[in-house]
């Protein structure tokens, strides 16, 4: 049986982040099971505010490597409850998200299909309320089971307490660094309904009413493979910046100068601008500075063609921010966590 914790020293950073940035972590504690949670060495790590809790490293840019990190590798799935058409599934924080989505779709537990192929772990999914193709985690998340880093206390937080919003949550804002996410509880449905309100997905499934969740899953995988860099081949953390939410008056003013502005009104009255479009209109799609660049098929994806350092990638990101601010007066905020 695997031991619950394993400590490694001088660990190469490159395989632990999808940007493929090089470096070395002085001390890496791998958590393979929370049976070891009472062990003092884990507390020692978690109480250190400079210690990073790491999942798949797919939403992080390392300008500096962390000196200490705890990597969540605890994988399990267990059905908590079944009632009517719903299944409540508890999933260990270290479960790879893409495998989870595929398995649930195969088992006939639906709701995750549009979130296919998002890299990373189940434990990180609530941090930015992952979303894609018109679906967000909040639609299927029942609860988040956390350990408080300062005390080790286990708390089950209902999803409604976690402030899940557009690519955001309290874990990313006022609770930053406070909790380790041990597991999440999903409420999935046996009813084979698909959500096709996202134009690119609807176009890929023209017989919309006949489409099954499996069809939606496969269509999302096809679109993503055609448009996004494969992390196994080209380093990235997906979209580098968040799509900015601006007042409707700002969007209207921009549209006067830019009639083809890509903008989506939000229920709260604000307007979501497509950050990729803004970057593209600054002439920065396909830009390359050494081994750092923007992806030719989607300017929002900042990439590492091989040897870029975290600092070089961050410098390019700042250049993009400055160009968008100068042309549109819009401030792009990183979606990726930048670790200095």
CB of 196 to ligand FAD, least distance (A): 17
Binding track over 300-329 against ligand NAP, x by CB under 6 A: x-----------------------------
Q: Does 238 bind ligand FAD (CB under 6 A)?
A: yes
Structure tokens at 31: 């958590």
Q: Does 55 bind ligand FAD (CB under 6 A)?
A: yes
Provide the residue count of the chain. 340
Report the alpha-carbon distance of residue 170 to residue 193 in Å, rounded: 30
Structure tokens at 247: 């007042």
Q: Does 238 bind ligand NAP (CB under 6 A)?
A: yes
CA atoms within 13 A on the CB side of 284: 25
Residue range at the interface with ligand FAD (CB under 6 A); choices 22-30, 112-120, 265-273, 320-328 = 112-120
Q: Which residues pair with 241 in a beta bridge?
A: 334
Q: Does 211 bind ligand NAP (CB under 6 A)?
A: no
Measured between alpha carbons, how far is residue 335 from residues 129, 137, 158, 318 in Å? 12, 16, 24, 13
Cβ neighbors of 123 (< 8 A, separation 6 or more) are: 55, 72, 92, 93, 94, 95, 180, 181, 182, 183, 184
CB 202 within 8 A of CB 208: yes
**Contacting ligand NAP (CB under 6 A), which of 50, 161, 199, 253?**
199
Q: Which residues pair with 53 in a beta bridge?
A: 70
Report the alpha-carbon distance of residue 187 to residue 194 in Å, rounded: 16
Binding track over 155-174 against ligand FAD, x by CB under 6 A: ------------x-------
Looking at beta carbons only, is 133 or 328 nearer to ligand NAP? 133
Structure tokens at 47: 């109480």
Binding track over 275-304 against ligand NAP, x by CB under 6 A: -x---------------------x-x----
Binding site for ligand FAD (CB under 6 A): 18, 52-60, 72, 93, 118-121, 123-125, 127-128, 130-132, 167, 180-181, 228, 231, 236-238, 337
Binding site for ligand NAP (CB under 6 A): 131-133, 198-200, 227-228, 238-239, 243, 262, 264, 274, 276, 298, 300, 335
What are the residue numbers of the active site?
Answer: 167, 239, 335
């Amino acid at each position: 049986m695997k031991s619950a914790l394993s400590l490694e020293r001088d660990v190469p950073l490159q395989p632990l982040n999808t940007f493929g940035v090089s470096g070395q972590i002085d001390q890496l504690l791998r958590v393979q099971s929370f049976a070891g949670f009472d062990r003092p060495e884990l507390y020692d790590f978690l109480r250190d505010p400079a210690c990073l809790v790491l999942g798949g490293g797919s939403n992080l840019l390392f300008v500096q490597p962390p000196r200490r990190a705890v990597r969540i590798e605890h994988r399990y799935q267990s059905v908590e409850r079944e009632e009517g058409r719903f299944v409540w599934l508890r999933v260990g924080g270290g479960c790879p998200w893409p495998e989870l989505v595929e398995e649930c779709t195969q088992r006939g537990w639906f709701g995750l299909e549009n979130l296919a192929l998002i890299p990373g772990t189940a434990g990180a999914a609530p941090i930015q309320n992952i979303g894609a193709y018109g679906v967000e985690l909040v639609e299927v998340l029942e609860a988040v089971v956390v350990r408080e880093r300062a005390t080790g206390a286990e708390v089950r937080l209902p999803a409604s307490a976690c402030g899940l919003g557009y690519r955001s949550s309290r874990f990313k804002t006022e609770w930053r660094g406070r909790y380790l996410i041990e597991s999440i509880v999903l409420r999935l449905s046996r009813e084979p309904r698909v959500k096709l309100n996202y134009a690119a997905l609807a176009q890929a499934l023209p017989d919309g009413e006949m489409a099954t969740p499996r069809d939606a899953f496969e269509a999302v995988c096809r679109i993503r493979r055609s448009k996004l860099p494969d992390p196994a081949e080209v380093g990235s953390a997906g979209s580098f910046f968040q799509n900015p939410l601006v007042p409707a008056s700002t969007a209207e003013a921009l549209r006067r100068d830019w009639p083809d502005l890509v903008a989506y009104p939000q229920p709260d009255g604000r307007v979501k601008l497509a950050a990729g479009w803004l970057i593209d209109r600054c002439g920065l799609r396909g830009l390359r500075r050494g081994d750092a660049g923007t992806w030719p098929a989607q300017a929002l994806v900042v990439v590492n063609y091989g040897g870029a350092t975290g600092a070089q990638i961050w410098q390019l990101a700042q250049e993009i921010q400055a160009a968008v601010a100068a042309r549109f007066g819009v401030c792009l905020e990183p979606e990726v966590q930048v670790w200095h």
